[in-house]
Structure 1
Amino acid sequence: MNIEIKKGIFKVDNWKYESLKDMLFENQVESWLEEKRLEVEREELAYETYRVYESYNRNHWQDFFGKYDVRDIKYAQIKEFARFKMEGKSKKMKRNILHALHTFFVWCKKNEVIKEMPEFEVIKGNDAKPRKALDYTSQRTAIGLIPLEYRDVVEFAFETGVRVGELCALKVFDINPDIPGLVVRRTYSGHRIKNNTKTNENRLIPLSDKAFFIAQRNMKDKTPEQWLFINPSTQRGYMPDYISKKIWRKYTDIPLTFYEASRHSFCTQLLENGVDLKTVQLLMGHRELRSTEAYTHIAIQKLLPYVNKRGKELKNA
């Protein structure tokens, strides 16, 4: 209110009881979430993103900001929230929570709920644990641990590097035998099929001999619209969590997530084999090259023994 008075934009009607109630954070954030839910229905927003926003609001924002008038939330309040409410959280988690909160305030500004965007606390540094990757031999060992009836879907993921949501959403007609190749057209978002990809673009992936052999075996006696991979336990298409948890986590003792063992390892192996970044970006379906560049540190680590060995040889010469 004081800020509006100083700037000469104060309006009495905006500060009456009913208006004040509407301006509470808890009410405005519900309106924002409802709009996000409608975006999910129109397939403009991933369902998983909506669930994350909902979770952040329920578990982090409401207790602190709920009874605040959104117009009164400034840098001081956001700084206090970041320092105390998120104590003990990783820096990555803090950044994600604040980024989502910033998205909410952008919506408030766009809808003229607030006149100015509040400044946000900057979380510096990175304490995220680096992802690990399997080499090709370790992947073959892992395949041997998987029961025979589940091996094809796991091995196909290893051979193509597709996201697990994309893997589960593959249909028979997505396989092009003439190349041979695979067209990624859709993915799972939560428990729903989303009829586009994470980058909203279809992408064509060439299939290795092994991947094409697996595809042909699973296409047999199926119509073009059927799922490429059928879960033998349910006789329906696979769900992402089933592969990640009920197959990978249950049958292997490898301390890597399925994402790390499949997609992350696929990308790392390509870089270690000398494939250039731009080509890897296309194969992985990364929207930006910097997403691909994040994998290069693992490939470079493989070169360290050679550098150290050279140093010792020079020293002994």
Structure 2
Amino acid sequence: MKGGIYTDQKCSVCGHNLKDDGKKAVRCPLHPQQVATSFRVHFDRVKRRFKSYPEAQRFLTGLRYKTDEDTFDAREYSSKKPLSFANLASSWLTVKEDTVKKSSYNNLHNYMMKAIDAWGHRNIKEIGFADIEDFFILHRKKLSSKTLSNMRSALHDFFNWLVKREVISKIPNFPVIKVQLAYRQIIGKETQQAILEEIYRIAPFKVWLGIKWLCTYIAIRPGELVQIREQDIDTENRYIYIHHSKTGETKPVPILDEDIELYKQTGPSFPRSYFFRHDTGKGGISQGQEYGDKYFYKWWKKACKNIEIEGVDLYGGTRHSSAVALRKHFSPEQIKQGTMHQTNKAFERYFRIGSDDIRSIYQQASDSAKTVTHIQKTKI
């Protein structure tokens, strides 16, 4: 039979090796009264020490049983814990750190740390649907449905990676996460223009220009815009190239002649320099340092406060508001092309039918209801 129970001890009488009798002890074949008091089990690549023969025998029997049912995996018994969830999650994060954007990696790291807190060094093969469902139940009161959905996608991607590396044979079932997305507060074009004028009055020129571009080029997100470099603005062909898009692909965005002229007012610079950068250094910020992800929003909030506008964030007040306003001039499909959404689901959440459109529908229903039908009564 595969594997066996051994000892490092020898017979104190003749010096021979002690051998497993297969029943009760590891003893000397010539002097049966000489028995071992410490034991080790060898089975394939598995080696484990025991202080009693019954413990060693039960362990060996278990390994043989797993072999018979074709579930034996030597990695489960390694002291390095190669099948530990925590160890595998750390390895996956190392891979992701070199393949995704920093902001995306930070989110993945956050999700996996929550999972490591829940499962620690538990064997990855033991984590199934019930464990994953309980994990999301634990967090559903603390996190939004959108965050839970993103966390589900990350964990599913992690388990898919394990299948590709042949660590596990299949991905466990995952619970369904229903996403309930809140709509952002939007504003009309007049209010948007008033905020832009206030930003022009109080903020650096490039801040105003960047927020103006967010209002105009609805394909660009704030986090994408702050990462463009001088060389990404093609004045000859009239494009801004977004290399750090949400999808990870380069996104060429056509721009207007008027914005080419505004760009030229900022003066020449090194091609690799960030376009949106600080011209002076103060308050812990170095001269030439690129704008942070929240820098536009900082000035947007300040301008809104100055002219007493509340509840409108930068994303809703620029990209979303401009897209809804364009409904008066273009079809939803045309606007979708302008936003460069790749899926209808994302666009449907992003674009809402305006109130005027709904009123038109209700008005038509009201006009149709004005036709009175008289029912003739007959005597029976």
In structure 1, list runs of 5 or more residues that go unmatched.
Answer: 188-196
1:248 alignment partner in structure 2: 300
Question: Aligned pair 1:25/2:98, yes or no?
Answer: no
Report if the CA contact (8 A) 1:205-1:283 is conserved: no
What is the CA distance between 1:72 and its match in structure 2? Answer: 0.3
Q: Which residue of 2 aligns with 1:260?
A: 316
1:208-287 equivalent positions in 2, closer than 5 A: 208=256, 210-218=258-266, 220-222=267-269, 224-234=271-281, 235-236=287-288, 237-244=290-297, 246-253=298-305, 254-277=310-333, 279-287=334-342
More displaced, 145-154 or 108-117?
Answer: 145-154
How much is the aligned-residue C-alpha RMSD, in angstroms?
Answer: 3.0
Q: Which letter does structure 2 place at the counterpart of 1:163?
A: R
Inter-CA distance 183–5: structure 2 relative to 1 (3 Å threshold): same
Correspondence 1:157 to 2:214: yes
CA radius of gyration, larger in: 2
**Quick one: distance in 2 between partners of 1:100 and 1:107?**
11
Q: Secondary structure at the match of 1:204?
A: strand
Residue deviations 1:125-158 (CA, integer Å, cap 9, x gap): x332112333321210111232142322221221
Distance 1:208 1:133, change over 3 A: farther
- Equivalent residue for 2:11? none
- Name the structure 1 match of 2:172: 118
Deviations 1:1-29 (A, max 9, x none): 99x9499322252332426x222211111
Which one-letter code corresponds to 1:260 in the other structure?
Answer: G
Report matched runs for 1:270-309 at 5 Å.
270-277=326-333, 279-296=334-351, 298-309=352-363
Match of 2:189 in 1: 136
> Which amino acid in structure 1 is aligned with residue 216 of structure 2?
E
1:183 to 2:230 alignment: no
Are 1:198 and 2:256 an aligned pair? no
> What does residue 49 of structure 1 align with?
104
Structure 1 residues 81-118: Cα deviation after superposition (integer angstroms, max 9, x where no partner): 22234334332222222221111111111112222221
Contact kept? 2:221, 2:319, Cα under 8 Å? yes
Distance in 2 separating the partners of 1:198 and 1:129? 20
- Cα pair 1:64 1:85 within 8 Å, conserved: no
How far did 1:68 drift?
A: 1.7
TM-score by length of 2: 0.67
> Which residue in 1 is equivalent to 2:150?
96
Runs of at least 5 residues in structure 2 that lack an aligned partner in the other structure: 1-61, 282-286, 372-380
CA gap of 1:212–1:79, structure 2 versus 1, over 3 A, is same
Tell me how many residue pairs correspond in the alignment: 294
Displacement over 6 Å in runs of 4+: none
Once residues 275 and 158 of structure 2 are traced to their aligned partners in structure 1, the CA distance between those partners, rounded to angstroms, is 39
Query: Where does 1:30-109 land on structure 2 (aligned, <5 Å)?
Result: 30-37=90-97, 39=98, 44-58=99-113, 60-109=114-163
Q: 1:192: which partner in 2?
A: none
Structure 2 residue aligned with 1:127, among 171, 180, 196? 180
TM-score by structure 1 length?
A: 0.79
Task: Look up the match of 2:226.
Answer: 168
Question: Residue by residue, what CA displacement relative to the aligned partner does 1:270-294 show, whole Å, maximum 9, x if unpaired?
Answer: 34421452x4344333333443343
Superposed displacement of residue 227, structure 1: 4.0
Q: Which residue of 2 aligns with 1:190?
A: none
- 1:307 CA drift (Å): 2.2
Name the SS for the 1:183 alignment partner.
Answer: strand
2:186–2:320 Cα contact (<8 Å) kept = yes
1:14 maps onto 2:75 in alignment: yes
